[in-house]
Amino acid sequence: MDATARTTPPTLTAHTVYLLSRTGKAARGALAARLAEQGLRLWHMAVLAALADFGPHAQRELADRLAIDPSDVVKVVDELAAPGYVERSRDPADRRRVRVALTPAGRTALTGLERETEAVRDAVLAPLDARERATLHALLSRVYAGLDGSSTP
């Protein structure tokens, strides 16, 4: 007998911030689990996406764009270079800089990750129909655009 109700306290669910935090965490967790199957984490996908969308970056540029610590970029790029998803090369014009470029394998991997992402969306947003999903996406887009990247980029 589940006399112990599993209901979340209404005092929590009444707050949009709480719902956002929880659903966001669920989404993040589900996506992370899928990426982990391929030995990747969220930052890896972010870096692949940045390279795909904007072309090769110096590592410093990646750090700026993704608002991640430069020293962490090194590690992420290391892990992407190991399976050959990205290639490092020194910028001949400024030999301090390391140019990071997406390889064909990396592009293939990215599209795979995007499919995983879509699968997670279908799981997490199951209660919503297509129209509602579009509405949610539009609202979240505006919220996201309004985030000042002080601590959470």
Partner DNA sequence: CCCCATCATTGGTGCGCACCCATCAATTGC
Partner DNA sequence: GCAATTGATGGGTGCGCACCAATGATGGGG
- Residues of this chain that bind a copy of itself (CB under 8 A): 4-13, 15-31, 33, 42, 45-46, 49-50, 52-54, 61, 64-66, 110, 114, 117-118, 120-121, 123-128, 132-133, 135-137, 139-147, 149-152
By CB under 7 A, residue 49 contacts DNA: no
The closest alpha carbon to 48, from 57, 39, 38, belongs to 57
By CB under 7 A, residue 65 contacts DNA: no
Burial of 143 (0-12, 13-18, 19+ CB in 10 A): exposed
- Binding-site partner at residue 131 among DNA, a copy of itself, none, CB < 5 to 8 Å by type: none
Alpha carbon distance 30, 16 (integer Å): 21
CB of 74 to DNA, least distance (A): 4
The one-letter code for the residue type at 83 is P
Non-local CB neighbours of 3 within 8 Å, separated by 6+ positions: none
Residue with tokens 């967790």: 29
- Binding-site partner at residue 114 among DNA, a copy of itself, none, CB < 5 to 8 Å by type: a copy of itself
- The residues that touch DNA, with contacts defined as CB under 7 A, are 25, 28, 32, 36, 41-43, 58-60, 63, 68-75, 77-78, 88, 94-98, 151-153
